[in-house]
Each structure stands twice: as C-alpha cells, then as structure tokens.
Structure 1
C-alpha cells in the first residue's frame, strides 16, 4: 500500500503556515458562479477575492493532484465539465470544456491527474474522461452503467482500482482501472440495508475507507485490500447523537407530498490530514458532527454535533488541518471554523458572504 503524504505546495523543507496563501473555491449552483476567498489564518477570516462565471447548476468541483487546475461539472444543459487553471494569485483562468453523458453528482481525478472520473445519480452511470497535458478535460470516452443512483467515485491510492457508491442499492461498486473501468471480482461491497451510501473518503494511510450513509448519517468503515482493490466491512458508527429526533431518511423523490416528517439527510464527509477525526454534515438539522478515528484499526467514535449554516451540503478541511469551511444551500454565508488538532473540536471563527445555493468547497495552498 502506498502511503499518502499530506499535500505540500512545494518540494523540499517543511513549510510553515506563513509560507503560503490558502484559497477557498465555492460552487454557487443558483448563481452559476465559482466564488474564491483568501483564508487569513492569523485572523481566522475569509476575504472574498473574485466571482468566476461558470453555468447554471455548477456542482460538483474537483482539483487536479498538483493543485494547478480546478474542474467544475455543470448539471444543466449542455452537460459538461469546465476546466480552469489556478493562477499564482488564486485567480481562475477558463481553459475549455468537455462533454459529459449524464448529470454528475460527483467528479474526481485519478491519482496521476490523467483522467476525470464522474458519477451520475440520476442516470446511474459512472464515466471516464481524458485530461490532456495542458490540464484540460476532453469529451467523455467511457460510460458504464452501475448500480442505482451512483453518488461518488474515487481512485484507490495506488491508482489501480476505482470505487463508486450506489446509494439506491446500498453498495460500493468495485472496478479495476487502467485508464478504463472494468468490473472487479467481486463487483461490489455492501453496506447495511437502507443506509444510502453517499460520499466516502480514504484514510491517509490508505488502509481504510469511510462511507457516509445519507439516510441514517452512519459512517461504515471498510478495510481496503490494496492488491485486489476490494473492501471488507469492519464496523459502523452513528453520526448523530442518540437523542436525535430525526427518523431514518429516504430518497427525496419518494417522500409523499405534504409529509414533513423530519428525516435524516446526511450530505458530506471529510477526514483530517492526520486521519484522527472525521466530520460529516446533516442537512435537515443543519449540523456538523465530529467522529474520532483510530488510525491503526479504523474504528470510529462519535464525539460531538453542533449547529452550522442552513442545509450544509458541502464543506472541506484545509490541507494543513487547521480550518474547516462549510457552505449551506439555504445560507447566505459560509462558516469558517478553527480545528483543534488534539480533540477535533470545531470553534467558529467567522463568516463570509456566499452566492446562491452554495454547495461545494475546495481548498488550495499556494506558495508565496
């Protein structure tokens, strides 16, 4: 198993936080724009920098492995992915667009930055698109039917396999990957029934995969076999406090008209760079939860749950693990939190104005 090292904006000596700028990018689906902000670490605040045009229903975003390019999927017609170069000052320069065959709920690059992977919830497909040497994503070259409601897709740390969640089938599809996808053996790993696996992350060591259940806010831990690219289920941890009054969720399109029962609606999941804490967002209660992770066993323990912006769909932890930025689809502002490395505690630092239906966050460190 290849060990993943924390991202460093330059090679060589370890850098301190004063050696680089941190820029936050946020997709605003309602405005059709990408907002950018400078993170001032010493003051704990976000400074709005620019608003870059994209298109209606811009979501999701993804970064290239070298952090030189930003990609944005457009979920309005024509379906496509936009490529931007990240300039030295954090500005975004449009480079081109590539056709997508589906409305993509999630995009990511492979570990070498040569291919864009995408998952479509509505079309229940995953796809592969080429990324040129200039960083531009071309038209899709492979589209694969998968289980019901594909929701997230990531390459394994060694880039030889790909995993994708199928929310409607309570499983993770398992693929071999050599620039094209082919079904692995077995072709899927299962979560518990009616979990609705949505987003997932790898532990920094690459040994574990943590999967968020949209319908119960649980996080399932899987062990990853690096050689085979297959998963084995280890444990499940609740992501909401026991006293939560929410009922188990269900697909929004299946909720009867007039039924306003408060249901679990978990959204996003991220792990601290040291692999010791996971965070998840729940949209119905507009909260963030903190879980403690054992890097040796992958086991999780619920720590805390706290209020945040309205309907928090997306958030991200900065590469240094010092701050967390969260966007709410029904909020007019972003929230910035300081992260206590020892306890994982989140303390609110400040807010910043956001666009309409802000939904996805990516964070880049740039050397000064």
Structure 2
C-alpha cells in the first residue's frame, strides 16, 4: 500500500468530509435520544526516523466495522518520535525525541503539538530537553499540567510543566536512579524504560530495566514534584529487566512485563500507599520455545478480563485471563504476522487490538473475542515505516 502525498487543501477537504459525517451522526443521535457508537477512530503512530525509515508522526483512521487501518497523513520533521501521549481533552500531543545528543550536548527532548479538533492535524508548539539521553516514554498528568518523561540512557525521570497554550517549560524536577543489575552487558547502570501514573495521579512508577526495580514515587500533581515512595521500589527477579507496567481498570491490580526474562508479573496495588505486592509471575513465552525473545508492551482489556503482552523474537501476543484476585491463567499465543512487535493498543471499544511490527514496517489488526479473549486477524495490514508506538484517540475527545 503506497501513501499519497496529500496537499494541505486535499487533507482538509478529505477530513472535512469525515467531520460532516460525524456531525450528521451526532444530529441523528439528538433526534433519537440514543448515543450513536463511533464508526471510526483516529490513530497516531510514532516511528524511528534515523535507524528506521519513518518520516515522523503518522495519522491513520481505524474503521470499526472492518478493523481496517487507513493512512491519512504524516507530520514530518520530527526527530525520533518513538513514543506519544496526549492530554485527556485531546487538545495537545507530546512526543519524545529519542536522541542521545541535542544541540551538541548529551540528552534528548520532548516536543509539544497542538491537535486540530476536526482534522487531527498536528501543529508544532515547542521542544524542551528532558535532562537525560534517549527518552523512551512519557505520560501526561490527569490535570494536564505536567508531562513526565523516562530517559533510558540517562537513567532518570523528569517532570516538565505544561504552559496554558500546551507548550512545555523546562524540567522542574529530575530524579536520577543509581546502581546496576545482574547482567553486566545490559544492566551496568540504570535504564528508566517507562513512567506511568496511577488513576488518582498520586503515585508514579518507573520500571528500570538496568536495576531490576520498579521505582515508586509520590507525585504532587499541583507542584509537579516527585518524592521517593515508602518503600521506594519493588524488586523483580535478577536479570529480568522490567520494561512496562499497566494498571487494571479497577485500580486494585497492576501487571508488569520484563524484557530480558521474558516474564509477566501480577501485583496487588494499594492506591493509598503506592505499594505493589507480587501475586504471581508467569512465563511470557510458550513451553518449549528456546529462541531469543524480549518482552515489550503490556495492556489490560477495557473490560478488565484479559491481559495482553507483546513478545519480540517469538513475534507474538500472549493472552492471559484475569480472575477476581488478579491472578493470571494462560489463554493463547498469537503470531503478529510481522516481525518485532513493539507497542500495541486495544482501542476503547475493546473490539480490536492493533500491533506495531517494527521490523516489517507494518501495523496489523486483530479482532478480540470479548468472551474468550482470543484474537483473530481482521482487516488488512497497513504499511508504516518503523512503527514503534500506537496512540488511539478516544471517541470522546
């Protein structure tokens, strides 16, 4: 599938037609008094632009009737936008610039964009250093006032204030991690791989691949300050390499995937204290598989019944059922029909799961069985160079 280079006028005309259709749907909803379900959703795709072939941040539309993803356009000139996040109102998008050098100095950056409410076109606002090299993940506080960034090479996490117009100010807090892990080749120092906030914005969690720890911080969402939790971390198995953490919709459980094991751990979560208590650790690979593989991403279905994890090397999605105690039961592995599945996303209706296959330059869609959690192929793969992050825009923004 070859993308057409849209002119700005054609882009506006095309997306304008979609806006008219959505407006008519809303009008019909008013007549009947019954909300109409969305027919499509917008999806942003972050890519690698140097080592890979990505041109920037791509914009797609997901057809909810067929599971087909359509490329609409691309915001070019954005260096290494490997991970994306937006505020809850859908007004601003933030992208890490996963660089190890910025303006001749060690470190990376994060870029801020304004989102057009109808076309979803991005307009650059500004960029700020993250005070650490290779920023690889970021999160926006629920009140929209701060962006938190995990710096992989820097081994730290930083907090940047958001200006009233959506731009970013310089970092006001940086927490540097110290130490090493069991594997001298991969864990000679700290490597912060993600920063995630709990539902109440009370605590921030930073899986550090280099330390075999998930660092825990109390987060002041009014001042933008991080304070070490009590305790300040939860340890994983030596050499596991924690990579990503996700919370259950009920807020009582969390689940972490480890890159180097690869395994998945279920935790009980106390939202008042910020304490994670290990419940269970399970393999992320099928029995008998001996090839080299790395855990990547992890998500819970919107209904809270199933957990999904991506595995690079085995190139699959592993599916587990979640019981009422937060424990996991294996369901299946599904090959992603591409190589090196990095980030993936379950869209808000829970019907489809999208997978970014980084090394085969494509995104593939699977339909979820809501009763069993199993995945079946849906739609056609869409070509996106070096896709590494999928950000689905909720239908309410």
Check whether TM > 0.5: yes
Match of 2:21 in 1: none
1:133 equivalenced with 2:171 (yes/no): no
Distance in 2 (CA, whole Å) between partners of 1:241 and 1:219 is 13
Q: 1:220-274 CA deviation, whole Å, 9 max, x = no partner?
A: 111111111121111112222112223xxxxxxxxxxxxxxxx221111111111
Distance 1:99 1:277, change over 3 A: same
**Contact in 2 for aligned 1:275/1:293 (Cα 8 Å):** yes
Report the structure, 1 or 2, having the larger strand content: 1
1:305 equivalenced with 2:333 (yes/no): yes
TM-score, normalization by structure 1: 0.87
Q: Could you say which structure has the larger radius of gyration? A: 2
Q: How many residues align?
A: 340
Distance in 1 (CA, whole Å) between partners of 2:90 and 2:252 is 24
| 1:1-368 → structure 2 map (5 Å cutoff) | 15-18=35-38, 21-30=40-49, 31-76=54-99, 77-78=101-102, 79-87=108-116, 88-102=118-132, 103-147=134-178, 148-178=190-220, 179-246=224-291, 263-294=292-323, 296-308=324-336, 309-366=338-395
User: Which secondary structure state, in structure 1, belongs to the residue aligned with residue 210 of structure 2?
Assistant: helix
| Unmatched tracts of structure 2, length 5 or more | 1-25, 103-107, 179-189
Distance 1:222 1:213, change over 3 A: same
**Contact in 1 for aligned 2:265/2:279 (Cα 8 Å):** yes
Question: RMSD across aligned C-alpha pairs, in angstroms?
Answer: 2.0
**Contact in 1 for aligned 2:55/2:74 (Cα 8 Å):** no
| Unmatched tracts of structure 1, length 5 or more | 1-9, 247-262
Q: Which has the higher contact order (CA 8 A, sep 6+)?
A: 1
**Contact in 1 for aligned 2:249/2:303 (Cα 8 Å):** yes
Distance in 2 (CA, whole Å) between partners of 1:16 and 1:192 is 47
Distance in 2 (CA, whole Å) between partners of 1:84 and 1:333 is 25
**Contact in 1 for aligned 2:364/2:382 (Cα 8 Å):** no
Superposition deviation, residue 111 in structure 1: 2.1
TM-score, normalization by structure 2: 0.81
Superposition deviation, residue 282 in structure 1: 1.0
Distance in 2 (CA, whole Å) between partners of 1:54 and 1:204 is 36
